[in-house]
Amino acid sequence: MNGLKTETTKQKGFTIIEVVLVLAIAGLIFLMVFIALPALQRNQRDTQRKNDMGRLQTAIVSYTSSNRGALPTSGTLNTSFVTSYLTTGGDDFIDPSGASSAQGSGVTSYVFTNRDVSAGDLTTSFADSQNIIYSTRSATCGNAGGSVAAAGSRKIAFRIALEGGGYYCVNN
Quick: pLDDT tens for 85-112: 887 777 777 888 765 545 455 556 788 8
- Report pTM: 0.71
- The continuous run of DSSP H or E covering 133 comes out as strand 132-137
Quick: pLDDT tens for 28-74: 999 999 999 988 888 998 999 999 899 888 888 888 888 888 888 77
Domain count, the chain: 1
**Average predicted confidence (pLDDT) for the chain:** 78
Q: By mean pLDDT, which of 10-24, 44-58, 140-154 is the weakest?
A: 140-154
Closest alpha carbon to 171 in 152, 129, 82, 161: 152
How far is it, in rounded angstroms, from Cα 49 to Cα 43? 10
| Res 144: pLDDT | 64
Domain encompassing residue 41: 17-171
Residue 28 is assigned to a structural domain of this protein: yes
How far is it, in rounded angstroms, from Cα 117 to Cα 55? 24
Indicate if the pLDDT at residue 27 is higher than 90: yes
**DSSP 3-state assignment of 77?**
helix
Residue 45 is assigned to a structural domain of this protein: yes
Indicate if the pLDDT at residue 18 is higher than 80: yes
How far is it, in rounded angstroms, from Cα 58 to Cα 137? 16
Residue 8 is assigned to a structural domain of this protein: no
